[in-house]
Amino acid sequence: MNTFEATRLVAAREIRVKLRDRTFLISTLFFLLIAAAATILPPMLSGGPSTVAVTEAAAGPLRQAGLEVRVVADDAAAEQAVRDGDADAAVVAGPVVLAMNDAPNDVVSALSSAPPVRLLNPDAVEPVVAFLVPFAFAFIFFITSQTFGVQIAQSIIEEKQTRIVEILVAAVPVRALLAGKMLAGTLLALGQIGLVALVAVAGMAFGDSNQLLSLLGPAIGWFVPFFLLGFVLIASMWAAAGALVNRLEDIGGVSMPVQLAVMLPFFAVIFLNDNAGAMRVLSYLPFSSPTAMPLRLFNGDAAVWELFASLALLLVAAVGFLLAGSRVYEGSLLRTNGRTSIRTAWRERETLS
Amino acid sequence: MTTVLRLDGIDRSFGDRQVLKNVSFDVVAGRMTGFVGGNGAGKTTTMRIILGVLAADAGRVTWGAQPLNRSIRGRFGYMPEERGLYPKMSVREQVVYLGRLHGMSAEGARRATDTLLERIGLGERGDDLLETLSLGNQQRAQIAAALVHDPEVLVLDEPFSGLDPLAVDTILAVLRERAAAGAPVLFSSHQLDVVERLCDDLVIIADGAIRAAGSREQLRASSATRRFELVVDTDAGWLRDHPGVSLVDLDGARAVFDLAADTDEQPVLHAALARGPVRAFRPVTPSLAEIFREVTQ
């Protein structure tokens, strides 16, 4: 059994077990619903053109402006239609625009001549979107790396706790075990955010947010490699943490540093996302770059070489953590008495032949 | 020439505590070898070293004169002392999985699993989650996990502990089959009566050192203290004064005695016959428990 083949088998088992896990399926469904709701609902709620109650004589310019015209007998009937809620607005003699409590801009502009407008930065991001997008990126990375990282740790502990690890280690190389788990976690995480992204893109297309889509496209595209490497970084820490304990109940004690390594960058990106200097720093730090760098790209602050530089830094960090994580994993996997210290695991690695 | 799994001068320490001291013994193909020792004597450590789960500090393990490596060990079957499979997977699924980890094809692993589960009486429960099985059935599943890839060598740590007598018979039959097919079977146990019933060869370990190793008969013969039992019709107390005899037990007409090395047993029998009828005169072979006590003391 070579390492590659063993890795594949281990990963296949992990994925199979996860795909039968009801909690996992429900949480995936939940994310998909959120993604669909967030992209489809806002355009729908902002509503279509206003309905205008008007006499036939005055209906012409309103029809031309694409408003929904409701022809009434006279001005009194028009006013009544607005009061009854049958129309959003009415146009009566004057002309005067009637509405309940909110001036209907589309009706007003249909009746007036506006000066020509030239937008200097037509691609600029709306403030609401500019706030929501960083939050979404950071949130996806935070939730996914947390969920699947914990899952890797749990799967490692399960094998230690049930002692099946001894049979496994006798059959396949230890690094194949770890590699299989990391591979499965990464594929599942990517699969889940891939699905979410697909639903979000479809939702934006459906909700006529194509302009936002073209803005988000490159950021999403860059988010994928950053996410991948960032995930390996976090998952390596979870793997090491899982290997240090023997019972699921004990994971709390070793997971604190890992939690912090995920949480601090998350909040930093959320709170500092309008501070250019801070974001520049965050976009190079391996733990925050997976969210901070695609964001700077989205906001138009990052040059292409910066993306590659940050990605390279992240790659080095991810490989380093992966090697360190697997050393701790190998060093503590067969220590089934109580908690192993990182120092012991690091130094007294069993030389498995 | 028969193939041999040979341990040669194995040392192993944990920290400054040496748990194995120059451990050497053979496990011969086609024979069931019992590995006996008290708690903490070093049985599990030895087995882990054979399987490569632990590394030896010194010495080597060979199978058919070849030093063990991963691909050779891949053809070994191992049942660790601390039992465990995946609680939330079905029996069939995890036995197939372990078969595949040992290099079987998907189809081959499936077929072997079905046959094996049927053979050990788990055919009906194959699709149940492991955690829903009784403890005894979980043990059977564990055996299936060790046997699925039709291993060349079997190393089983306490395979019979926790099994009901019926399951012991089933498992035993399966192991005998494997041995008859030419696999060396090494199993540890602290239940001496079980080992006595099952094994062809015996290895006794105490404090990390091998105290005795060989076939059951050899060990019996070599550790026999030339003990005899005599049953006559009248009081056998006269034996006390017979030269070369030291009485171990005297109960009226029945006596158990040891003979000095230079004393033949036939004159004792003649002396007994001269006094009256002899109902029984036989050498007393020591039980495994007695051998064990003797060599480990």
Give per-residue pLDDT as tens, A39-69.
777 666 665 567 777 777 777 777 777 777 7
A77 — pLDDT class (breaks 50, 70, 90): confident
Among the residue ranges A44-58, A228-242, B131-145, the one predicted with the least confidence is A44-58
Residue A1 pLDDT: 66
B51 shares contact with chain A (CB less than 8 Å): yes
Among candidate residues A299, A265, A300, the one with its CA nearest the CA of residue A284: A265
Flag whether pLDDT at A177 surpasses 50.
yes
Can you give the pTM of this predicted structure? 0.77
Each residue's pLDDT tens digit, B76-102: 999 988 778 998 899 999 999 999 999
SS3 letters across chain A: CCHHHHHHHHHHHHHHHHHCCHHHHHHHHHHHHHHHHHHHHHHHHCCCCCEEEEEHHHCHHHHHCCCEEEEECCHHHHHHHHHHCCCCEEEECCCEEEECCCCCHHHHHHHCCCCCCCCCCCCCCCHHHHHHHHHHHHHHHHHHHHHHHHHHHHHHHHHHHCCHHHHHHHHCCHHHHHHHHHHHHHHHHHHHHHHHHHHHHHHHHHCCCHHHHHHHHHHHHHHHHHHHHHHHHHHHHHHHHHHHCCCHHHHHHHHHHHHHHHHHHHHHHHHHCCCHHHHHHHCCCCCCHHHHHHHHHHCCCCCHHHHHHHHHHHHHHHHHHHHHHHHHHHHHCCCCCCCCCHHHHHHCCCCCC
Amino acid letter, residue B228: F
At residue A235's C-alpha, the angle toward residues A325 and A262, to 5°, is 115
Quote the minimal CA–CA distance from A168 to chain B in Å: 8
Residue in B80, B89, B103 nearest the CB of A166: B80
Each residue's pLDDT tens digit, A133-168: 767 778 888 888 888 998 999 999 988 888 888 889
Residues 6+ apart with CB under 8 A from A209: A39, A43
Q: Which of residues 88 through 117 in chain B touch A, CB cutoff 8 A?
A: 88-89, 97-98, 100-103
ipTM of the complex model: 0.78
Count other Cβ atoms within 10 Å, centred on residue B227.
18
Q: Which two tokens stand for residue A84?
A: 């009854």
Flag whether pLDDT at A353 surpasses 60.
no
Each residue's pLDDT tens digit, B185-227: 999 988 787 788 888 999 999 999 998 888 888 887 776 667 8
Residue showing tokens 């930093």: A268
B53 shares contact with chain A (CB less than 8 Å): yes
Quote the minimal CA–CA distance from B200 to chain A in Å: 26
Residue A261 pLDDT: 86
Cβ-Cβ contacts under 8 Å, B82 against chain A: 163, 166, 336
> Between chains, do A350 and B145 touch, taking CB under 8 Å as contact?
no
Residue A351 pLDDT: 46
A51-55 and A89-92 as β-strands: parallel, antiparallel, unpaired?
parallel
d(CA B22, CA A86): 98
Residue A121 pLDDT: 65
Quote the minimal CA–CA distance from B288 to chain A in Å: 31
Residue A332 pLDDT: 80
Among candidate residues B290, B228, B274, the one with its CA nearest the CA of residue B254: B228
Residue in A9, A161, A173 nearest the CB of B100: A9
Cβ-Cβ contacts under 8 Å, A336 against chain B: 82
Quote the minimal CA–CA distance from A329 to chain B in Å: 14
Flag whether pLDDT at B108 surpasses 90.
yes
B129 shares contact with chain A (CB less than 8 Å): no
Q: What is the mean pLDDT of residues A22-44?
A: 82
B17 shares contact with chain A (CB less than 8 Å): no
Burial (Cβ within 10 Å: 0-12, 13-18, ≥19) of residue B114: middle
- B229 pairs with which residues across the strands? B256, B282
> Between chains, do A164 and B76 touch, taking CB under 8 Å as contact?
no
Residue B21 pLDDT: 92
Q: For the residues of B150-194, what is the DSSP string, one character each?
A: --SEEEEESTTTT--HHHHHHHHHHHHHHHHTT--EEEEES-HHH
Cβ-Cβ contacts under 8 Å, B52 against chain A: 169-170, 352-353
Each residue's pLDDT tens digit, B154-185: 999 988 887 888 888 888 888 899 999 989 99
Residue A161 pLDDT: 84
Q: What is the mean pLDDT of residues A5-31?
A: 91
Burial (Cβ within 10 Å: 0-12, 13-18, ≥19) of residue B85: buried
Each residue's pLDDT tens digit, B235-285: 888 888 888 888 888 888 899 888 887 888 888 899 889 888 999 998 887
> What Cα–Cα distance (Å) separates residue B165 from each residue in A148, B139, B172?
45, 13, 10
CA-nearest residue to B131 within chain A is: A162
Quote the minimal CA–CA distance from A27 to chain B in Å: 20
Residue A352 pLDDT: 46
> Between chains, do A166 and B97 touch, taking CB under 8 Å as contact?
no
Quote the minimal CA–CA distance from B194 to chain A in Å: 25
Residue B145 pLDDT: 92
Residue in A1, A162, A169 nearest the CB of B53: A169
Most confident of A48-52, A203-207, B8-12, B196-200: B8-12
Flag whether pLDDT at A350 surpasses 70.
no
